[in-house]
Amino acid sequence: MIKLFTLWNRRLDQTHDEAVDHWTRVHAPKVVAAHGSHLLRYACNVGVPADYSGWAPDEAPAWDGVAEGWYDCDDPADLTALLSATADQLRAGERQFMGTFRHVITDQRVHRDLGRAQRGVKMLFMLMRRPDMTPDQSVAYWRDRHVPFVRDLFADALVRYTTNVGLAADYRGWSPHEAPLYDGIAELALDYSVAEQQAFVQSNLEVLLEDERAFMGTYRAVATREVLVAGQPDEFLPTGP
C-alpha cells in the first residue's frame, strides 16, 4: 500500500468555502469512482482558521486543502499509471475548484491508531529535512526518536499519528514536473480543539522545537477537519508496507 497526497489551492475567483464545497460534494466522489477498487480509503482534509505564530511559519497555510488516498499497490509507477489513465476523466472537475496543486506519493507508517474519529482538529505538518542530513538520516531520526517523543508528549489526546515519507516517482504529465516540495508529511489527529492544540504547543514549544531541529530544515503546518469520502472513521488505518 502507498499513499497519495494532493495539496491544492483554490481558484482565485472562488472563496475557500466555494472551492471546498465543490471538492467534497462533487469532485471527491468522482475520484473514488474513477479509481475504483485500487483506492482503499479517501479523505479530504479541509483547512480551518488557526493562529500559527510562534510555533510555525507565521504566514497563512500554503494550501486550502489536502486530499489523501490510500492505494492498493506498492510501486509508485503503478499509481502514476493509474493517475495518468484517469487524468482526462478528472481534469475538468479539478479545474472547477483548483488553482494550483502538488502531489506527493508516500510510504505511510501508523504509530498510533485508536480506531475512532478524533473529537478535535487534525494537524498536517509538511516537512523538509535539514540540508546537512541525507533523507535516510532525517527519516531515521524522525521515526525512531521524534515519533516516540511526540506520542508520549500528547498522550491520550493523540488519536491517530502517522508519518508519510516521500517516495521517488515520475510526476510528468499529471503534475508539475518538479520534485515534491516536501520530504514527508506528519499527521496528528487530536481530541484537542484548534485553540487547545495551539495552547498545548505553546506550553511545550521549547522542547518541541529542540527535537524538531534535530532533523527538520523547514516545515509548513495546516489545521484541518477531515471529511471521509471512502472509508469509516472507526476503521483502523491501513498500516503501510
Residues ≥6 apart with Cβ < 8 Å to 123: 186, 187, 188, 190, 197, 221, 222, 223, 224
* Three-class DSSP labels, 150-161: HHHHHHHHEEEE
Whether the CA torsion 118, 51, 220, 142 is positive or negative: it is negative
Give the pTM.
0.91
* CATH number of the 2-230 domain: 3.30.70.100
Cβ distance 63 to 8 under 8 Å?
yes
The pLDDT tens digits of the residues spanning 183-230 come to: 999 999 999 999 999 899 989 989 998 999 999 998 888 999 999 998
Residues ≥6 apart with Cβ < 8 Å to 172: none
Cβ distance 175 to 211 under 8 Å?
no
Cα separation of 165 and 139, whole Å? 8
The pLDDT tens digits of the residues spanning 119-172 come to: 999 999 999 999 999 999 999 999 999 999 999 999 999 999 999 999 888 766
Q: Which three cell numbers stand for residue 123?
A: 494537524
